[in-house]
Structure formats: C-alpha cells, structure tokens
Amino acid sequence: MKKKILVAISGGIAVYKVAQLVSNLSKKYEIQVIMTKHARAFMSPLTFEALTGRAVPKAMFTPDVHYDQISHIHLAKWADIIIIAPATANLIAKMAHGLADDLLSTTMLATRSPILLCPAMNTNMLNHQATVANLELLQNRGIHILESERGLLACGDFGSGKLPEVSIIQETAEKLLEINQKQDLTGLEITVTAGPTQEALDPVRFITNHSSGIMGYSIAEAAQARGATVNLISGPTNITAPPGVSLIKVISARDMFDAVQSVFSETDILIKAAAVADYRPTETFRNKIKKQEGDLQVKFVRNPDILAWAGEHKQAHQVLCGFAMETEDLLDNAKAKLQKKNCDMLVANSLRDEGAGFGATTNVATLLWPNQEPKALTLMSKKDLSELILDELLKIKKVK
C-alpha cells in the first residue's frame, strides 16, 4: 500500500516550488494537499488537484467533496507524515500556541503524525525573537524543522528564509517516513517506569519529587510506535498514557516495586526512568496529624531499590537501563550507579544543565555502559532522546 503524505501549504511566495515537490511525491506516494486562504491567493488549488488527483478541500465546514474524507480529524489520522511548506511566521505562531481557526491549523492540532515543518519567510521575520521562540517551542515538542536556506529572497533582501530545494525537502520527508515505519522492536516486551512516587505521611500529606513523567512516557510512546509491547508503570502524573500501551498506575515506591516484579519475567528490556523515593515515613498515620506545640519530627525508612533488585535478578537475555539524576559529579556518580545496580546502560543527566531536568521537554544526557566510554549527548527533545535510547538498547539486546 502506498504511504500517505499530507502536504499543508500556507501563504508564501515559495508555494510555486511546492508544486514541483507535490509532482515528485505523487509519483511514489498518495498525496493530499490542504491550503490556507492566503496560499490559494498565491496559487490555484487546481494545480495541486491536477497533480494529485485529489480535491483540495476549500474550507473546514463546507463539505465540498465527501465530508468525512476531508475533515480535519480524518486528515490528521490519515497522514503517515505531514509536510508543511512553506510554513509562514503566522502559521508557526498559531501552531506554537495551539490556535486552530481553519482546516490547516485544526489538522495540525489534531494530528499525532510526524510533522516536517519548512519555514520560509523574510529574514527579519525569521530572526524575530517571537518566531525564534515559536520554532524552538515546536522543535521541543518533537516537530521536525527543516532549516531554511540563505540567499536572495523574493522581497529583495539577502539572508536566510528561503525554502530549501525540493530535493532536500523530499529526502528529509522520506527519511522521516522510514523512521515512522520502523518496526524494529516488534516481538519485544518493554517495561518503562515513569514519574515520581508518593510516600504517604497521613491521609492528607505525602513526600514526593518534581518528576513530571515526560521522559518515561515519551520512551513508552516511541517503543510502542516501533512495534514493542509496552508496559508503562507510572507514578502520579498529569500526562495521558499513549494509546496502545498497558498502563499500570502506582502511587508509592513499594507499589512500583510490586508492579515491576509482576511483569519482570516477561520483560525483555526494563527502562527505569521513574524518580523513586529512596525513603518513606516510618509510619503512615491513619488520621490527619494534628498541630501540636513545638516541632514535629518525622522518621523515614529506606524503600526497596527496584533497579538494584532487577540488576540482581535479571536473566542473561534481559536488558536493564537505569537513569541517574545528579546535581554534582555526574560521571562519577553515574558510573557508580551503573555498576552497583548491574545495568547494561545508564542515562545520566544533571539538574545543573540548562534544558535538562524536571518538567522540561528537552534533556541533556550522557549515556554510560559497563565496557564502553560514556557518550555525552547534546541538548535534544525528550522525543529524540527516547529514539536514541531505544536504538542503543536494541543494539545491546541483539548481542545478548
């Protein structure tokens, strides 16, 4: 079956190049074009209709063809990938802020397919702080941004902002299509732990940490997309679990330990991204602790170390990936954890690095292995880091 590409066009002079792109892609893929009102001012939809053999829907709520075939929700799900070219400053700003007031922008909000965004505009508009910030936001959310080229622009200015050559857009889109179709984890069961744990002090209070769960959920989503059977064991977070993963919700470290033990024998790869509380209050009071005169002292006991347990009990074919969040001596501490917990790989990050840490959609990580030099990675989205972690773990799995 032919792969499906949605080409979304917003209003810029570079639209004339997109006709060539659509012509090339139509020879290999099923192509649907959608255009904003301003894009239609630059070029007639008829050009694209003739090239693709598909109607370009006129508006959101006018069922000009078969409505269910062109609604934003249908298109959002239909596409294997989406190319936005040219992407104007206005469209980029709308996407960054979740605005959706026409067919194109609603489709972008509704889709979960990979998006290749190709900005093209005047240099000053591209370099404006607002556009720079919006592009950064979109990149951090996992949207792939194809950098524009430098040259003489249609407005007469010289600088960056030119839509890249059609061949470059096509090559990048095809690479993305390939990644999206990658089913290299099929047949593997992957267990991911995510988020914080909560350790109750009484029915009202608990001890926890700042973990958002984004990293673990992102790994679970990527693993599922690549064909793995995924167990996601999650402490309390505000994130919706990706469709298709088996979610086990837990509260405390001891709950998480039980959940990991329950799936461990079936697990091929265990990824422990959760921030587990090392201690819990010695006693969980049945009733709310009432204020007293003077200070309150709380005693804590150690929680089980789930990763260390898995390291002790893993079978030869099982791969274990730990995480380490440090605030000092990152490499030394991470190396010690890798060894002590018998991990096959450890993903270490420092809370001190900009772009790393709790709640961020990006991370700066260093990967460590028992018999290999550590690899320091640059700042990247947690989505990209997830793919990279899975690539590395698959290499280890193949050897085992």
Positions annotated as catalytic residues are 155
Say if strands 345-350 and 199-200 run parallel, antiparallel, or are unpaired.
unpaired
- Residues 6 or more apart whose Cβ sits within 8 Å of residue 344: 319, 320, 321, 369, 370, 393, 396
324 binds ligand CTP (CB under 6 A): yes
Choose between 140 and 303: whose C-beta lies nearer to ligand CTP: 303
Q: Output the DSSP codes for 353-395.
A: STT-STT-SEE-EEEEETTEEEEE--SEEHHHHHHHHHHHHHH
Nearest approach, Cβ of 332 to ligand CTP (angstroms)?
Answer: 12
Nearest approach, Cβ of 235 to ligand CTP (angstroms)?
Answer: 10
Residues from 260 through 319 that contact ligand CTP (CB under 6 A): 272, 274, 276, 278, 303, 305-307
Residues from 236 through 255 that contact ligand CTP (CB under 6 A): 253
161 binds ligand CTP (CB under 6 A): no
Nearest to 87 by CA among 4, 5, 18: 18
**Burial of 35 per CB tally in 10 Å (0-12, 13-18, 19+):** buried
Nearest approach, Cβ of 245 to ligand CTP (angstroms)?
Answer: 18
Q: Output the DSSP codes for 189-254.
A: EEEEEESB--EESSSS-EE-----SHHHHHHHHHHHHTT-EEEEEE-S-SPPPPTTSEEEE--SHH
Choose between 6 and 194: whose C-beta lies nearer to ligand CTP: 194
The binding track of 76-115 with respect to ligand CTP, each residue x by CB under 6 A or -, is ----------------------------------------
Residue 83 CB-half CA count within 13 A: 29
323 binds ligand CTP (CB under 6 A): yes
Choose between 87 and 259: whose C-beta lies nearer to ligand CTP: 259
From 5-13, 137-145, 312-320, 322-330, give the range in contact with ligand CTP by CB under 6 A: 322-330
Choose between 85 and 324: whose C-beta lies nearer to ligand CTP: 324
Q: Which two tokens stand for residue 102?
A: 């026409």
* Contacts to ligand CTP by CB under 6 A: 253, 272, 274, 276, 278, 303, 305-307, 322-325, 337
